[in-house]
Structure 1
Amino acid sequence: MKNKPTQAVPRERLFSLDALRGFDMFWITGGGYLVAVLAKYTGAGWLKVLADQMEHVEWAGFHFEDLIFPLFMFISGVAIPFALISKLEKKVPKAELAKKAVKRGLTLVLLGMVYNGVFSDGFENPRFASVLSQIGLAYLFASLIVIYSKTFKDRLYWLGGILVGYGIVQLLIPVPGIGAGVLTPEGCINGYIDRAILPGRLHGGVFDPEGLLCIFSAIAITLMGTVAGHFLRDKTTTDQQKVKTLLIIGASTIVAALLLSTFYPIIKKCWTTPFNLLAGGIGFILMATFYWIIDVKGWKKWSFFFRVIGMNSIFIYLLYDMVNVGSITKYVLGWTVLWGDFGMVVNVVGSIMIVWSLLYYMYKKNIFLRV
């Protein structure tokens, strides 16, 4: 007797979404460093391979570390249909939803400026571009596209237009004195625009990886997330169909990225279209996997560790900049240096658990940093 397809259950909050967000944030809150320390302690070859993945590539190419930031934006995009379309269906005015999106986006821009220390040192050589600013602006414009697009197909046109248009700009518009399609830190049009228009200090010296042109690319990957959210929220399809659709889209975009990379490199620091397609494709596959395991099969207990992190993601990002977590860990676990490399493993695990315990306390007290 064949198993019947699992019917989709209407869900307006996905446990898998919080878990995937927490999984993503885990790697910048000590997970990546833990892999490096374990590789050093054990000498295991496979751990050394993983440890290499915990470092950004210098320019062209792709490591797991390069996925963390765009995956976060993809996840924020997945949440948009659940947060906005349900309200549109309840006849909440579009202007009201747009106002909230603008408020959230600009709040993240402001937090990004605070994170970068723009308001310190008498505004001396500040950096205005930031990770939080890029997340905020990408969320803002992706939300506005969702709010004011009449159909899902219109949103796909926006997504395709941005990806294609971004590629045309990077490959065909010449940089004065250099030419077109020169995708180097000095030659890419992203850096030229940043040097000409973006005030203050640039993170990359001659370009900024969160610069002005990169914002358009970030909007695209956030819109990819809204596509995943659209299918996950669809009440007319079975859970098997949802997962299959996301897996097919993910695999297709990865193949497209690899094909394009033969002449249009995968570069995170200037957010090329193949990079977006590769990161987005992996996002679709991870979202499908987490959704199937957690929300469909109901295997939730293992994901609790990640969900606690994921439900306070902005707080944890700010915490690591504003609080010296390493010093706190040293006071509690400094004695572990007597154990050599193994002591370093204990120290890193202890640091992660100290922060997780704070997040767990906030979770139990229903304290969440919302913007």
Structure 2
Amino acid sequence: MLTDNKTEKKRLVSLDFFRGLTIAAMILVNTPGDEEHAYAPLKHSAWNGCTPTDLVFPFFLFMVGVSIVYALEGKKADAANHPKIIGGALRRMLILIGLGLSIFLFYKFDFATLRFPGVLQRIGVVYFIATFIYLKTNAKTRYWLFGIILISYYAIMNFIPVPDGHPANLEPQYNLAAWVDRAVFSLNHMYKYAKGWDPVGLLSTWPSIATALFGIAVGEILKNKEFAPKTKCSRLSIIGISATVLGLLAGLIFPINKQLWSSSYVLYTGGLATLGLTAAYWLIDIKGYKKFTWFFVVLGTNAISAYVLSEIMPGLINFIKVQHNGVKMRGMAFVYETMFLPCFSPANASLLFAVCFVLLIWLFMYILYKKNIIIKV
């Protein structure tokens, strides 16, 4: 659906900025010139631990929660609106799932090996469930749900034996989440490079809902008209610091792990996302420093569109085959190996290639931005 953003209610600039910064980071880390030579912070952690790259996806789901409050806070009180809102959320979930599956089919049109889990699929499911919870519960209930999700997931992963004969464990291929994915999807429909588990699998979607609930809680503070801006910032700073520290402490018994979306990972990344958004809110919406925000706001106002385009653009470019030194090369590889690699070290060439790709996506989003068009699913 296309909308003219002049007709939209006044947007929180820091929200668009932070969302745009997150999308830019997501595109950057997903499209290196050479993943093997990418700088370590631009790679996911091998298993336990958290690199800057591991912050990107939870930050986006956190922003989904914040955005739910800004979109629905004025409509929540009237229960007559709920069926329509829930129906719209269901439609958006199905569209996002469809987009995610379509991207996989774009690269390999083979239903026998179609990967079912994916980033857009998880965003869609979490968005729908978080929207439903927000409409049907009060803040206190959501706090309880947040705690129940984290504690129950810890218990499930650490104490329930895996049905294939392995004891409860957190190893990549043998943990319960990996077994559930294999049982539900089968290996043919999972992330093939992980060899037996999926980084956005079914069971790990459960704690990712808590990430969105964290965002909802933060959004309610930002939206609360009874709090002065300084009060909002002080409260959010305390929440952010506390959650980050608690996540690090919880990591001692349930390691911080993106692939498992561990409970400690929810707390740690939620805390950092809160601190990041609070800093943006203070600088941009309170202090008025908006000149430096423009680049990322362009991406933030059409975040899903930017992500989808970034996923299909490499395939479109790779349709172009170029003969180089007697070897037929795909478009992306040709550009990297002829324009970047000869001029820079492998690590810098990989980084600059990714930066240029972000700029390419930004140009398309800038066209939409200048025409005051927001594409909504």
Please give the TM-score of this superposition, normalised by the length of structure 1.
Answer: 0.86
User: 1:225-257 CA distances to partner (integer Å, 9 max, x unpaired)?
Assistant: 000100000000111111111111111111111
- Match of residue 256, structure 2, among 247, 266, 269: 266
- Match of residue 372, structure 2, among 360, 366, 371: 366
Please give the TM-score of this superposition, normalised by the length of structure 2.
Answer: 0.84
Residue 188 of structure 1 is matched in structure 2 by 175
Greater relative contact order (Cα < 8 A, sep 6+): 2
Q: Secondary structure at 2:120's aligned position in 1?
A: helix
1:322-333 alignment to 2 at 5 Å?
322-324=312-314, 327=331
| 1:52 correspondence with 2:50 | no
Q: Is the 8 A contact 1:128 1:201 kept in 2?
A: yes
Q: Secondary structure at 1:307's aligned position in 2?
A: helix
Displacement, 1:22? 0.8
Residue 100 of structure 1 is matched in structure 2 by 88
Q: Is the 8 A contact 1:329 1:350 kept in 2?
A: no
- Match of residue 112, structure 1, among 67, 81, 100: 100
- Match of residue 353, structure 1, among 359, 362, 377: 359
Q: 1:336 to 1:126 in 2, by over 3 A?
A: closer
- Match of residue 285, structure 1, among 275, 278, 294: 275
User: 1:180-228 CA distances to partner (integer Å, 9 max, x unpaired)?
Assistant: 2x10112211011111122442212211111111111111101100001
Q: 1:252 to 1:19 in 2, by over 3 A?
A: same
- Match of residue 68, structure 2, among 54, 77, 80: 80
Percent sequence identity is 31
Q: Secondary structure at 1:117's aligned position in 2?
A: helix
Give the Cα–Cα distance (whole angstroms) in 2 for the partners of residues 205 and 339 of structure 1: 36
User: 1:123-160 CA distances to partner (integer Å, 9 max, x unpaired)?
Assistant: 121110110000110111010000111x2111111111
Displacement, 1:35? 11
- Match of residue 26, structure 1, among 24, 27, 44: 24
Q: Is the 8 A contact 1:268 1:275 kept in 2?
A: yes
Q: Is the 8 A contact 2:26 2:57 kept in 1?
A: no
Residue 234 of structure 1 is matched in structure 2 by 224
Q: Secondary structure at 1:57's aligned position in 2?
A: coil
Displacement, 1:33? 7.0
Give the Cα–Cα distance (whole angstroms) in 2 for the partners of residues 74 and 252 of structure 1: 16
1:79-158 alignment to 2 at 5 Å?
79-89=67-77, 93-117=81-105, 121-149=109-137, 151-158=138-145
Give the Cα–Cα distance (whole angstroms) in 1 for the partners of residues 274 and 71 of structure 2: 19
Q: 1:264 to 1:301 in 2, by over 3 A?
A: same
Q: CA RMSD in A?
A: 2.8
Question: Following TM superposition, where does structure 1 have runs of at least 4 consecutive aligned residues deviating by more than 6 angstroms?
Answer: 31-37, 328-333
Residue type of the partner of 1:144? F
Q: Is the 8 A contact 2:64 2:127 kept in 1?
A: yes
Q: Is the 8 A contact 1:116 1:127 kept in 2?
A: yes
Give the Cα–Cα distance (whole angstroms) in 1 for the partners of residues 160 and 204 of structure 2: 16
Give the Cα–Cα distance (whole angstroms) in 2 for the partners of residues 116 and 333 of structure 1: 26
Give the Cα–Cα distance (whole angstroms) in 1 for the partners of residues 162 and 106 of structure 2: 29
Gaps spanning 5+ residues in structure 2: where? 1-8, 319-330
Give the Cα–Cα distance (whole angstroms) in 2 for the partners of residues 25 and 161 of structure 1: 30
Residue type of the partner of 2:89? A
Give the Cα–Cα distance (whole angstroms) in 2 for the partners of residues 333 and 262 of structure 1: 43
Give the Cα–Cα distance (whole angstroms) in 1 for the partners of residues 332 and 372 of structure 2: 24
Q: 1:314 to 1:329 in 2, by over 3 A?
A: farther
Q: Is the 8 A contact 1:54 1:65 kept in 2?
A: yes
Q: Secondary structure at 1:167's aligned position in 2?
A: helix
Residue type of the partner of 2:142? R
How many aligned residue pairs are there?
348
Residue 240 of structure 2 is matched in structure 1 by 250
Displacement, 1:357? 2.0
Give the Cα–Cα distance (whole angstroms) in 1 for the partners of residues 33 and 342 of structure 2: 21
- Match of residue 266, structure 2, among 273, 276, 280: 276
Residue 175 of structure 1 is matched in structure 2 by 162
Residue type of the partner of 1:53? P
Q: Secondary structure at 1:87's aligned position in 2?
A: coil
Residue type of the partner of 1:237? F
Displacement, 1:105? 1.3
Q: Is the 8 A contact 2:257 2:265 kept in 1?
A: yes
Residue type of the partner of 2:60? F
Q: 1:174 to 1:328 in 2, by over 3 A?
A: closer
Residue 3 of structure 2 is matched in structure 1 by none
Residue 7 of structure 1 is matched in structure 2 by none
Give the Cα–Cα distance (whole angstroms) in 2 for the partners of residues 24 and 81 of structure 1: 19
